[in-house]
Amino acid sequence: GYDKAMANLAFAYLKGIGTGPDPKSAEKWARAAYDKRQSEKAQHVLGYMYWKKLIRAKDDADELRLSSFAKLKDRVGTFAYGVE
């Protein structure tokens, strides 16, 4: 239940660190981390996955949140945490 660990798992699954890339598991852990404490790293993972069309929004509110996360790249020029 530790949000930073969940966000790190999401990143590991996204990038295939220690395992093959697994977008479903990455999304599961990133959403859990974000829901727990609105983890910034989880936001970046979810935004990246949405931007790369690896995940879809579940409803209108999710669409708005994911699209705003994806726009982080436009504001800072790159994603944090070496997601790219």
Rounded to two decimals, what is the model's pTM? 0.80
* H or E stretch covering 22: none
Q: Cα 37–74–58 angle (5° rounding)?
A: 50
Question: Among all chains, which residue has been given the structure tokens 């708005």?
Answer: 64
pLDDT digits (tens, 9 = 90+) for 8-20: 999 999 989 999 9
- State the amino acid at position 1 in one-letter form: G
3-state helix, strand, coil in the chain (%, to 5): 70, 0, 30
Average pLDDT over residues 24-41: 90
Q: How far is CA 66 from CA 27, 42, 44, in A?
A: 12, 11, 9
- Is residue 76 very low, low, confident or very high in pLDDT (cuts 50, 70, 90)? low
User: Which of residues 76 and 38 earns the better pLDDT score?
Assistant: 38
- Is residue 25 very low, low, confident or very high in pLDDT (cuts 50, 70, 90)? very high
